[in-house]
Amino acid sequence: MIAALRLARVGLHLGCGLATAALVYPLVGRPIRLKLKQRWSRQLLGMLGVRLQSEAASLPSPALLVANHVSWLDIYVINALAPAAFVCKAEVREWPFIGWLCERTETVFMPRGSRSAAKQTSEIVALRLRQGWRVAVFPEGTTSDGGEVLPFHGALLQGAIDADSHVQPLALRYVGEDGLPSAAAAYCGDTTLLQSLCRVVSMPGLEARLDVLPPLDGRGAERRKLAAAARQAVQHALSQPCGNVTRQAGKTALNVLPAPGMEAISRPA
C-alpha cells in the first residue's frame, strides 16, 4: 500500500516538474531555476522514501562533478545537494516526458561513438564551467550494481582541463536500514526502470550516502591521469566501511525540504 502511494505521488510530482519547466522556467533567471531543481529533487527523494546523507551542504562552483554511477536515482541525489547540468547519452532525449524535462533543465546530451561529438560535448562543458556552472558527469559511462567502480573515461573530463577548472570527485552508495550496502537502487543488467522504481519505493529506510572527496586540479592535467586519480579517490572512499570516510566538513543529513546551512568546502590554492 505504501509503495503504491509513493508511486502515485511520484507520477504527480513528475507532472508538476513538467509544468514548472514549461511555465515557470522561461520567466525566471538561472539562480531560481537551480533552486527549483534542487527543491524538486529533494521532494522526489522524500516521496520515494530515500534519505540523503552527506558531509557537506554545498559544493564548489564552478566545478566538474564526477561520481560513480549506480542508478537513475544518482542524478536526483546529486541535484538535491548541489544542482548541476548533467552530461548524459543522447538517447535520453527521446524518452517520453523525461527527455523533454532533461532538455529544459540544462542537460548536455552526448551522442555515442563519435569523436567529433565527444569533442563538441567537451567544448560545451568547458563553456559552462567558464560561465561558473557546476557540470556533472558519470565517467564510468554506464551503471553498475555499486559493488565496484568501473574505469573512468578520460574524454568526459576534458572539458575541465580545457576550462582550467577543478574536478570534484563524489562517492555515492546506497545503504539499507541495517546500515549495510543495498542494491535496491541499482539500475543495471536487464532491470527495467519500472522494476528499479518499484524496488526503491518498497525498500524501507533506504539511504543515499554521498561523500564529497578532496577536489582535483584540472589545470594542465593529462586527462587519463586525471580520470585515474578521480576513480582511485572514489574507489578508496567506497572501500571504507559506511560512515568511515574522511570528511571535509561536518556531516549533514538532508531529508526533503529543509534548506541546508552553508558549510565551507576546502579547495586547493
pLDDT in tens, 184-208: 898 887 888 888 888 999 888 999 9
Q: Is residue 262 part of a domain?
A: no
Q: Is residue 8 part of a domain?
A: yes
Rounded Cα distance between 267 and 269, Å, is 6
Provide the number of structural domains found in the chain.
Answer: 1
Give 139-187 pLDDT, tens digit per residue: 998 888 777 899 999 998 999 999 999 999 999 999 998 888 898 898 8
What's the CATH number where 29 sits? 3.40.1130
Q: Is residue 118 part of a domain?
A: yes
Q: Is residue 74 part of a domain?
A: yes
Is the alpha carbon torsion for 5, 88, 17, 29 positive or negative?
positive
Which residues, at least 6 apart from 236, have a Cβ–Cβ distance to it below 8 Å? Answer: none
Q: Is residue 253 part of a domain?
A: no
Q: Is residue 263 part of a domain?
A: no
**45 and 52 Cβ atoms separated by less than 8 Å:** yes
Find how far residue 217's CA is from the centre of its chain. 20
Whether residue 123 is predicted with pLDDT greater than 80 in this model: the reply is: yes
- CA distances to 29, 81, 228, 234 from 140, in Å: 32, 21, 11, 12
| Structural domain of 235 | 2-248
Which residues, at least 6 apart from 74, have a Cβ–Cβ distance to it below 8 Å? Answer: 67, 138, 172
Q: Where residue 243 falls among pLDDT bands split at 50, 70, 90?
A: low
Q: Is residue 203 part of a domain?
A: yes
**157 and 139 Cβ atoms separated by less than 8 Å:** yes
Look at residue 114 in the predicted model and tell me its pLDDT: 67
Q: Is residue 259 part of a domain?
A: no
**226 and 167 Cβ atoms separated by less than 8 Å:** yes
